[in-house]
Amino acid sequence: MMMREPPAPAVLPAASLLQLIWLASPALPVGGFSYSEGLESAIESAGVGSEAAVAAWLLDQLHITQARGDLAVVAQAVGAWRQGDMAHVKSLNDWVLHTRETSELRLQTEQMGRSLADWLRNQYQGDAARMPAVQALAALPPTYPVAFALAASGTEASVYDVLLAFAFGWAENMVQAALKSMALGQSAGQRILAKLAQAIPEAATYALALPDGERQAFSPMLAILSARHETQYSRLFRS
């Protein structure tokens, strides 16, 4: 498939830029810090035992699972929320739920989706224009990519910028999971994050160009490691 070029850079209003930074922050109270998405299990039993191996694992996860799955969902969901197309929103939300291959991965997207819906409800108390969408989100029940898309859809950011924010928030969480799971220092973590940041624009461009019918959720090794993590003897994370 021929990939489109990313949109030409535009000046993002300060309020919208700050909102995206806020949404991408690990400090956002949605619980992302408590999940490793199989990385802890990979460190334990799949030979992911060095800075280079962690970087390679996360880069593969960015391109194989994020760009082809969650990022593509966010790209479609932002437009659906902005157009008020709840049928499309629900279809995307159902796709995320149906493609979570283990109980831990499903727990993660459901818990983070609910927490972000609660955060949005708190943010938009008294906002008659925004609350109907937040209430519709809560009734789904929400998954995290669809909830994030709603949170970002109220900004003036392009869909491409929203994808950059989503992917960088994911990358920061995953690097922090690696630092907590093995003997990597902060400098190594920053080098890994730099590699991910360099790769994120390509992943976002790919996701932006991906039609609904071409999304994928095929990552068998990740699913196996996630299932193993459920009974891992010693662990820090919920996934």
Q: Tell me what the pLDDT averaged over the chain comes to.
A: 88
Distance CA 239, CA 237 (A): 6
Question: What gap in Å lies between CA 37 and CA 158, rounded to an integer?
Answer: 27
Cα separation, 228 vs 83, whole angstroms: 41
Q: Phi/psi at 162 (nearest 5 deg)?
A: -60, -40
Output DSSP code: residue 212: G
Amino acid at 12: L
User: Residue 220 belongs to what H/E stretch?
Assistant: helix 220-229
Summarize pLDDT for 94-151 with one digit per residue, the tens. Answer: 999 999 988 888 988 999 999 999 999 998 887 888 899 999 999 998 999 999 999 9
Residue 159 or residue 178, greater confidence: 159
Choose the weakest-confidence range: 183-192, 212-221, 227-236.
227-236
Interacting residues of 204 by C-beta distance below 8 A, sequence separation 6+: 6, 67, 71, 160, 163, 164, 167
Do 153 and 82 meet the contact criterion of CB atoms below 8 Å apart?
yes
What are the residue boundaries of the structural domains of the chain, listed by start? Answer: 37-229
Q: Distance of alpha carbon 93 from its chain centroid, rounded?
A: 13
The vertex-173 CA angle with 154 and 239, nearest 5°, equals 110
> What is the pTM for the complete model shown?
0.91
Report the CATH number of the 37-229 domain. 1.10.4190.10
Instruction: Report how far residue 239's alpha carbon sits from residue 182's, in angstroms, rounded to the nearest whole number.
Output: 16
pLDDT in tens, 59-82: 999 999 999 999 999 999 999 999
* N-to-C CA span, the chain: 33
Closest by CA to 35, choosing from 133, 104, 116, 138, is 104
